[in-house]
Amino acid sequence: MYTYENLHHFIKNIFCKIGCSPVDAETVAEVLLSAELRGIESHGMLRISDYYNLWKAKRINATPVITIVHETPSTAVIDGDSGLGMVVGKKAMLLAIEKAKTVGTGWVSVSNSNHFGIAGYFSMMALKEDMIGISMTNANPLVAPTFSTDRLLGTNPIAVAIPAGNQPAYVADFATTPIARGKLDLMHKKNKKAPLGYVQDKDGNPSEDPNILTQGGAILPLGGDYEHGSHKGYCLGSIVDIFSAVLSGAGYGPWVPPSVAYLPVKEKNDVKGTGHFFGAMRIDAFRTATEFKKTMDEWILTFRNAKPAKGQEKVLVPGDIERDNEERRKKEGIPIMPLLVEKVNQIATELGIENIK
Amino acid sequence: MYTYENLHHFIKNIFCKIGCSPVDAETVAEVLLSAELRGIESHGMLRISDYYNLWKAKRINATPVITIVHETPSTAVIDGDSGLGMVVGKKAMLLAIEKAKTVGTGWVSVSNSNHFGIAGYFSMMALKEDMIGISMTNANPLVAPTFSTDRLLGTNPIAVAIPAGNQPAYVADFATTPIARGKLDLMHKKNKKAPLGYVQDKDGNPSEDPNILTQGGAILPLGGDYEHGSHKGYCLGSIVDIFSAVLSGAGYGPWVPPSVAYLPVKEKNDVKGTGHFFGAMRIDAFRTATEFKKTMDEWILTFRNAKPAKGQEKVLVPGDIERDNEERRKKEGIPIMPLLVEKVNQIATELGIENIK
């Protein structure tokens, strides 16, 4: 087990060392550790080596000049200047929140960014302002649209955070596919089969091989097959792609610059990085925050107190599991796999800074 | 086959006769026939009897005074005064569009409304303004959250319409469940089994009975079961519910006033009808419409020209099937099932107006 403080110190050191400002390095630490605390290890410390390798390949700019390209009272497009996604994303979400303060809502589409960590971090930034927060991003092209074998979309997550009163906030944060890429990697490492409905092979046949992505296979959209609504998952993934990249001018669909080794960087001159989309809606732009939160508490209790199906213990409200993890890990510390500790310590040694305490 | 004009005339007559203004009756005809043209028969003429019965039960107000309860430059809450959902929805979407003209985006949450027809109609209203249109609604509580047997959500559809240049617009319009209720009814009528993954029985066991909803069963969220991401479908359905009803003060979740006979109207004094949520985003609030449409054309062609999987003919872009239907039916006429013609003619006779030509 590691303490939040020690890991924060370690991550901050790494990103300061590659040239980030202390404030930006703290943002990276905060977003990665938010994933670790919430139990989404696939988006935590595990990503440090990806970011480090992209920085070494000069695909991440540690000192980006992030600019507003265009804006109206409720919207903006931001160019992230190839910065770390967490740094660019936080700035974009803060701008959405500022706009919501003035005209009720704020919507910011982002180009020239990189992988931003967990989408939920940004949507949750809105909560303390009594706003609903929305965030989404496109990602490595590994998902085939319904009826196709071409990998044209990412797992393109959507996160929505909604304030409540006495109850903890509602926080949904989910990929628009049945399974996230990181979880397939984990199945492969553990020598497990993937359930049918997660992936297909390069010809579009159903597959149970969690490693099929390295052989031209694809993740399926949420729904799995057409009969079970995969075209709806395809709609969701493509809406995220268009809001994140066509609105901002970032790389869309197959042109999202890949961050996994088995996807080649495609030749296209004008690709402007990864795209994100953020939204903030002030609750009292609709009804008083007091009224809304009272109703939201009722909503949450209605769902949490619903009758469990046979064999199930309880019904969950989106965010329950992650919040439980967060509370426990804040007390007990954060478990990090020994192999991962070794890997990030190697990077620290390469950079000439101290290892994890 | 029936002509658009004759059906329009017929529907307008019915809704004028129950007290709607000619303009409102035209709106109803337009929305219902948009569903018929696009091949979504479950949301077309079939619904006339539902609306008529709700009007007879004094649950639909033919002459609503629709009011803006609260607003900011980019948001509003509208009270639909128990009007027909199509009439209330159109007014709300027009308001969202007006706000987008001024501050870039507009977002309107609606209470005291009723079933509004196809969600896609309202999102497509934004297209001719060079805006992205978004619409969603809550609905009859027939969907159980993951791990539960309680029916707390509707099939809660989301529609997003996105303008393109030379290509036809992108139009996604989908329930947040694997299957819409109307399609289950149709399977039952045809004596067909439902594929596993659509519904569960009253104890939460998988079921193949398309009529299970009349026996306490529930539709599953998109994803089907937990292993295949039904919790993500549950997130989507609940986000639609909260945006449509908790933001506006309408009936949420289990309190949505039912429009199917086998769901009893629950006792709760302060339920304010069905809720909807609409959004409009001006394209040039992000980047010039010319640039956006050029990229959107490229996006559409990338997906439409993707390699089909073995045994598939082509890859579709959301909206392709419905647009093909619309083009064909505009030329060839609209097919209406004889039994349905009989049913709506009975209503016409009851009201003392002429039958369908």
pLDDT average, residue stretch B13-42: 97
A320 min Cα distance to partner chain B (Å): 12
Shared domain for A52 and A138, answered yes or no, is: no
Percent of chain A exceeding pLDDT 70 equals 98
- Scored b (16 or more CB within 10 A) or e, B20-45 reads beeebbbbbbbbbbbbbbbbbbebbb
Q: Is A43 within 8 Å of A51 (Cβ atoms)? A: no
B229/A143 Cα distance (integer angstroms)? 15
Which CATH number goes with the domain that contains A341? 1.10.1530.10
pLDDT of A192 higher than 90:
yes
A340 min Cα distance to partner chain B (Å): 27
**pLDDT, position B270:** 76
CA-based Rg of chain A, rounded to a whole angstrom? 20
Average predicted confidence (pLDDT) for chain B: 96
Residues of B in contact with A103 (CB under 8 A): 72-74, 103
B282 min Cα distance to partner chain A (Å): 9
Asked whether the beta carbons of residue A146 and residue B103 sit closer than 8 angstroms, the reply is no
Interface test with B, best of A72, A108, A201, A291 (most B CBs within 10 A): A72
A77 min Cα distance to partner chain B (Å): 6
Shared domain for B167 and B291, answered yes or no, is: yes
Enclosing domain of residue A11: 1-63+319-357
Q: Judge whether B271 is closer than 8 Å to chain A, CB to CB.
A: no
Shared domain for B151 and B238, answered yes or no, is: yes
- For A247-278, the DSSP string reads TTT---GGGSPP-STTSPPP--TT---EEEEE
Phi then psi dihedrals of residue B11, to 5 deg: -65, -40
- Scored b (16 or more CB within 10 A) or e, B333-348 reads ebebeeebeeebeebb
pLDDT average, residue stretch A22-38: 98
Q: Judge whether B203 is closer than 8 Å to chain A, CB to CB.
A: yes
Q: Judge whether A278 is closer than 8 Å to chain B, CB to CB.
A: no
Give the distance, in angstroms, between the CA of residue A51 and the centroid of all CA atoms in the same chain: 14
The sign of the torsion formed by the CA atoms of B44, B46, B52, B53 equals: negative
pLDDT tens sequence across B245-270: 999 999 999 999 987 767 777 766 67
B224 found inside a domain: no
Nearest CB to A178 within list B174, B228, B316: B228
pLDDT of B299 higher than 90:
yes
A268 found inside a domain: yes
Which H or E run includes A100?
A: helix A85-103
B98 found inside a domain: yes
Asked whether the beta carbons of residue B148 and residue A309 sit closer than 8 angstroms, the reply is yes
pLDDT of A8 higher than 70:
yes
Chain B, window 309-328: residues with a beta carbon less than 8 angstroms from a chain A beta carbon = 309-312, 314-316, 318
Shared domain for A279 and A330, answered yes or no, is: no
**pLDDT, position A268:** 65
pLDDT of A267 higher than 70:
no
Asked whether the beta carbons of residue A228 and residue B195 sit closer than 8 angstroms, the reply is yes
Closest by CA to B321, choosing from A223, A231, A224, is A231
- Label residue A120 by pLDDT band (50, 70, 90): very high
Sole residue written with tokens 């630490």: A29
Q: Judge whether B232 is closer than 8 Å to chain A, CB to CB.
A: yes
Nearest CB to A103 within list B103, B295, B318: B103
B357 min Cα distance to partner chain A (Å): 37
Residues of A in contact with B144 (CB under 8 A): 306, 309
Shared domain for A102 and A47, answered yes or no, is: no
CB contacts < 8 A (A, B): 260
pLDDT average, residue stretch A150-159: 98
Asked whether the beta carbons of residue B253 and residue A299 sit closer than 8 angstroms, the reply is yes
Residues of B in contact with A309 (CB under 8 A): 144, 147-149, 200, 203-204
Report the chain A residue with the minimal C-alpha distance to residue B204. Answer: A309
Shared domain for B80 and B213, answered yes or no, is: no
**pLDDT, position B258:** 87
Q: Is A297 within 8 Å of A167 (Cβ atoms)? A: yes
Residue with the larger pLDDT of the pair B268 and B284 = B284
Shared domain for A69 and A164, answered yes or no, is: yes
Phi then psi dihedrals of residue B67, to 5 deg: -125, 150
A304 found inside a domain: no
pLDDT of B80 higher than 70:
yes
Model-wide pTM > 0.95: yes
Which residues, at least 6 apart from B309, have a Cβ–Cβ distance to it below 8 Å? A144, A147, A148, A149, A200, A203, A204
pLDDT tens sequence across A331-343: 999 999 999 999 9
Shared domain for B168 and B269, answered yes or no, is: yes
**pLDDT, position B261:** 67
Percent of chain B exceeding pLDDT 70 equals 98
Q: Judge whether B205 is closer than 8 Å to chain A, CB to CB.
A: yes
Report the chain A residue with the minimal C-alpha distance to residue B161. Answer: A239
A348 found inside a domain: yes
Chain B, window 2-61: residues with a beta carbon less than 8 angstroms from a chain A beta carbon = none
Specify the number of domains making up chain A.
2
Closest by CA to A182, choosing from A115, A131, A239, is A115
Which CATH number goes with the domain that contains B148? 3.30.1370.60
pLDDT of A314 higher than 70:
yes
pLDDT of A260 higher than 80:
no
Shared domain for B300 and B261, answered yes or no, is: yes
pLDDT average, residue stretch A344-353: 97
Closest by CA to B38, choosing from B119, B132, B154, is B119
**pLDDT, position A297:** 98
Average predicted confidence (pLDDT) for chain A: 96
pLDDT average, residue stretch A276-294: 98
- Label residue A256 by pLDDT band (50, 70, 90): very high
Determine the residue type at A42: S
Shared domain for B310 and B348, answered yes or no, is: no
Report the chain B residue with the minimal C-alpha distance to residue A68. Answer: B286
This complex has an ipTM of 0.97
Report the chain A residue with the minimal C-alpha distance to residue B159. Answer: A235
Shared domain for B269 and B337, answered yes or no, is: no
A299 found inside a domain: no
**pLDDT, position A261:** 67
**pLDDT, position B268:** 65
Nearest CB to A315 within list B77, B147, B286: B147
Shared domain for A68 and A58, answered yes or no, is: no
pLDDT average, residue stretch B43-55: 94
A41 found inside a domain: yes
Looking at chain B, list the stretches that DSSP marks H as alpha helix, in order from N- to C-terminal side.
Answer: 4-17, 22-37, 48-56, 85-103, 119-124, 181-189, 230-241, 289-304, 320-332, 338-351
**pLDDT, position A272:** 94
A68-77, B72-81, B185-194: least confidently modelled range: B185-194
Nearest CB to A286 within list B247, B291, B299: B247
A101 found inside a domain: yes
DSSP assignment letter at B327: H
- Label residue A269 by pLDDT band (50, 70, 90): low
pLDDT of B149 higher than 80:
yes
pLDDT tens sequence across B150-160: 999 999 999 99
Coil/strand/helix, residue A158? strand
Percent of chain A exceeding pLDDT 90 equals 93
